[in-house]
Structure 1
């Protein structure tokens, strides 16, 4: 459980393509990541990732190296600097089982052939990951490119098991492990286990299991290109999003059951009863007057979050009454599953009780 009490910190997954890729690749625990570019790119991302790990009670540091390109490297090319840094990465202790090389905007501008340098045989895989964002890439681009690059380390499985992969969890998101636990709880109703969290706290060797799952569950629809890539590689169908909302969570069970050939009817009825019991715990706020606002002025309201809130308002007989209703921030991103709704409603209760009913 994270010690970070603020759901607003869940929005720490916007920004640079490089940052998006590193949020994935640094979760391969026995790998070393090389940022091919100026030292500042590495320093900025190391600081962000280290602070995020600490805020989630993980006393560890991301294994990052930089090629530390100088003005001469930028003028004459940085491939020699990359060769030397790969050699340095392979000599660190404990020795890495894989190395990921991430490009930066300046490297793409000067035209270094990063892929060719990485392709040389070295005894462990050295994987080039395109992460320069100056041509229009954003954080999500980095996440997608990183996931597809890690997938190249896996081969088709000899046997498919009744399990699921969680693909593209937001590793900078508050509550990431709680969300994974909720997916595991839901799938357990269907007798489906978790094969691999791709990519979250795994080793290079674990990636080999990627093709053994019966279904890939994407964190969000923006990862659809990754799901399509994995389907081409391993013939694994996917569910395009973690479940949100009361009805959406039940639909998730139905879809997972359909894909995996499991009758989901009993699981859905059990989950509906579980949801009704959960909602009954918040009967004390029924009839309250509320109004909603985005969690931050720079963020547009998330239509999925708005739909989830509308569903809960109806279920709890709340009234939307701006401007005098109790102000409640819209969740960002939308809460996952029934457990996510319970945490959200607990925050609503705290706010409503703190200011009184309308």
Structure 2
């Protein structure tokens, strides 16, 4: 059987390339994302983003529109239609315009790069999102990050002067992910222990002008290891090293604090000691489930083994069915939220 038709070969990032890119570009607060393609592509994605915002109880819909190409443009080309929509977006006062192609416009050969390269009064940025050429959700996500990074100047000074706290960028947060802001808040809390501040969330709720700060950090912290290629790209572009992911696990969180401090040339000893005490106090809140019998739907790994050991849990086929979130919880606060769910399941 062709593996492409098998549900077992489906990967959670194998979605529409356009959706992956829009999850990044729509996080620019003063910009607009233009979909160069049929209206249905925009409707599908706007519906998804709207549903996600409702679930997250987040703010208003981002600026997103389509040039709504039809049969005539598919036959004769849609470049004039796209140019007119960009002109309208600039007239309406948007500070940046992101242009995302579709499978249809790629097939007919519209030159999006040339149109975006015209002498516009604001940045007009093409993002490669033609999924039928081999891209998936993660491809569009990566391409959007890369395109927006091009707005930041290189060769910036990392700090403004003596006594300024070291700074880090949070890179590639998943804007459609549950607890995206809670995860960032946890990373910020851990960094604050070591006297390190967040310079920029790239890209999450920032303006076009704020992107210029991308090169003014001492370290980039990637959301997850799948973004290593982009971390390498930023390191080459701005000479900023990177960590491969947000902290996962109790010991992993302590390592994260120490490694971040080391990379930023600050003493992280006290910060690690304080976080270790905080973790012990957090686990004390779940003393009632110590020794409980549990079973996991996934095979046990280092993350679960650590918690099983620290809480004295017993893995048994007849135990309470506790679940691991995907992706794994971030930091100590993420583990606490997960253990609260475990406790409800065990007590049921």
Q: Is the 8 A contact 1:290 1:319 kept in 2?
A: yes
Q: Aligned residue for 1:337? A: 331
> Aligned pair 1:90/2:94, yes or no?
no
Q: How does 1:132-147 map to 2 (within 5 A)?
A: 132-147=130-145
Structure 2 alignment gaps of length 5 or more:
1-10, 160-165
Q: Is the 8 A contact 1:184 1:194 kept in 2?
A: yes
Looking at structure 1, the residues matched to 113 and 53 of structure 2 have their Cα atoms a distance apart, in angstroms, of: 30
TM-score computed with the length of structure 2 as normaliser:
0.92
Q: Aligned residue for 2:64? A: 64
Q: RMSD across aligned C-alpha pairs, in angstroms?
A: 1.6
> Aligned pair 1:176/2:174, yes or no?
no
Q: Aligned residue for 2:151? A: 153
Shift of 1:13: 6.7
Matched residues, number:
332
Shift of 1:54: 2.2
Q: Aligned residue for 1:214? A: 218
Q: Aligned residue for 1:128? A: 126
Q: Aligned residue for 2:344? A: 350
> Aligned pair 1:113/2:111, yes or no?
yes
Q: Is the 8 A contact 1:65 1:89 kept in 2?
A: no
Deviates further, 196-205 or 105-114: 105-114
Shift of 1:158: 3.3
- Per-residue CA deviation, residues 33-89 of structure 1 (Å, 9 max, x unaligned), is 000111100000011111211222224112111111112211221111111111121
Looking at structure 1, the residues matched to 131 and 13 of structure 2 have their Cα atoms a distance apart, in angstroms, of: 15
Deviates further, 335-344 or 65-74: 65-74
Looking at structure 1, the residues matched to 170 and 72 of structure 2 have their Cα atoms a distance apart, in angstroms, of: 43
Q: Is the 8 A contact 2:13 2:136 kept in 1?
A: no
Q: How does 1:195-344 map to 2 (within 5 A)?
A: 195-293=199-297, 306-322=301-317, 324-344=318-338
Q: Aligned residue for 1:19? A: 19
Runs (4+) of structure 1 exceeding 6 A deviation are none
Structure 1 alignment gaps of length 5 or more:
1-10, 295-300
Q: Aligned residue for 1:297? A: none
Q: Is the 8 A contact 1:289 1:321 kept in 2?
A: yes
Looking at structure 2, the residues matched to 186 and 80 of structure 1 have their Cα atoms a distance apart, in angstroms, of: 50
Shift of 1:18: 0.7
Q: How does 1:32-51 map to 2 (within 5 A)?
A: 32-51=32-51
Q: Aligned residue for 2:4? A: none
> Any idea what SS the aligned residue of 1:18 has?
helix
